[in-house]
Amino acid sequence: MLVLRVIRTRSNPFPSSQAQRIRVRRQPFSSTGKRERGRDLPLVPLWIKGERVTTSSGGTVFTKNSKTGKESCEVVVAGEEEVDSAIRESRRAFDEWRDKTGWERKAVLSKVVDLLPDRFGALTEALRADAAFSEIVVQGDRKSALHLTDGAALTAASIEGGIPQTVDGSFAITTREPFGPALSIPAFNYPLTLALRSIVYPLACGNSVIVKSSPLIPQLYHLLGPLFRDAGLPAGTLQILNFSEKDVAARVEQMISDDDVRMINFTGSVRLGKILAAKCGEHLKPSVMELGGKSVAIVLPSADLKLAANNILFGAFLNSGQICMSTEQVLVHQDIAAEFEKVLRTTADEAGWNGGMQLVRPGAGDAAKELADDAVDSGAQVLFSATSPTASPSSSSSSASSYPPTIISSLPDTASLSTTESFSPILTLHLFPSTSSILSHANSHKTGLTASVFTNDLSQALNVAKKLETGAVHINGMTIHDQANLPHGGWKESGWGRFNGKGAIQSFTQSKNIRVILPGKESMLPLHAIYGGM
């Protein structure tokens, strides 16, 4: 889930491959919509104060389609002035939005749900103008976006406090209160779902939101401001900002360090999450970090091997492996290893895959090839490649922006792929002599977002699930799953905080105690005793 590199203002805040993808134009863009040099590209504005902003001190950048390499749009980017304006407006709007009842916030978010189906066509067109996504991902993304937004609407009306007991007979209540303006930095890979999730849960809890759009799919974000406006969200409650490669680090740091920005939520890689978390810590800002992982699928002796192979391959190669919950490693008990390897390979062959799977990040195909080549050079074997059963990872079906579905076995611990999240269609197979050794390997990873366990022994499955150090465990199902009433987030380096339901309430609100000394319970305090014994 690579989104941005931030904080080090003197270093390039994007990978070099992405830097090649975006060119900055220094002159601010004219609101007349005229193009220089005969260009005829869509213009992606900022969204500030509930309006499109087409001129900016930051100028504009040109973005290229990840598959064709052709320029797809011109993006207005926020400079220091626009960021400051967005922050001040977000703080102003927060004072209005936090006073809305949970039912009023629910009504706005429910209206978003109502509007979404009629806008799916335009949203998909905007998405595919910038990047390549398969139809199954687009359809799944739509369904997930509707589900999570509807869940956020229910969350808005579900925020509760309590009435705790007191030792002095006073009356106390505890409430959950919003933080204030929240900076949201979503990932690109499940585009509509992740963009909306980063917006609707903070809004449901009474916060205003400033969104940093993804530079990989800016045209999708362009349509979100009008969507929420038309749903009745007060102007200024949502700001959507685009940034240039040159200035993104400084602008993100500007927002995190500003006193009026009260919390941050980020979905992305562990490496970038650490950078952001350090900056949040410097300014004592609470954060939600939903980071990547090295998700494992465990196959035990009593498992339905065909079911396991099917779900594991789907979880590994859906969206070309570009999902934080993608299955990266299969951990198989030695007793069924030979049989399962045969079933896994047969299932992959029968899928009819052919050639490279498209990847969104520029250079991602080259990065996948580098990981696979290093694995083979270290002694690993290619069990399956989409080009042919014996094709090597260096097959011509890979490119700078694509890579074929590949299964690698006999991976040594010294290979980078053993610990690095590939975020590509690469799956590794590992054999172990016992369930305890499988658990030991699974928990040795520094990350822990999600895992799967395949077995027909429910008692064993629950025992393994309890011992796995991960935020979610799916028994006889793939590692990819998200549901509006199930808290979603990771353990260890996969982050902290939760999206969805009660988890979102805990993450996007803070507690407050209000204590009332009831009539007849008041007492005068002994001021004369303060100095006693000093």
Catalytic positions, written as ranges: 290
Write down the residue that tokens 């890689």 correspond to. Answer: 269
Distance of alpha carbon 65 from alpha carbon 71, whole angstroms: 6
Distance of alpha carbon 461 from alpha carbon 452, whole angstroms: 10
Distance of alpha carbon 431 from alpha carbon 332, whole angstroms: 5
Distance of alpha carbon 228 from alpha carbon 199, whole angstroms: 10
Distance of alpha carbon 465 from alpha carbon 460, whole angstroms: 8
Residue 436: count other Cβ atoms within 10 Å of its Cβ.
Answer: 11
What are all long-range contacts of 310-314, with beta carbons under 8 Å and residues at least 24 apart?
Answer: 310/347, 311/452, 311/454, 311/476, 311/477, 311/478, 312/344, 312/427, 312/452, 312/454, 312/478, 313/344, 313/347, 313/348, 313/351, 313/405, 313/427, 314/478
Contact between 111 and 144 (Cβ < 8 Å) = no
Distance of alpha carbon 376 from alpha carbon 360, whole angstroms: 25
What are the structure tokens assigned to 512, written together? 């407050």
* SS3 (DSSP) at 445: coil
Contacts of 242 (CB under 8 A, 6+ apart): 44, 46, 61, 75, 76, 77, 78, 213, 215, 218, 221
- CA dist list (Å): 508 to 48, 384, 483: 22, 44, 18
Contacts of 212 (CB under 8 A, 6+ apart): 4, 183, 184, 185, 241, 243, 252
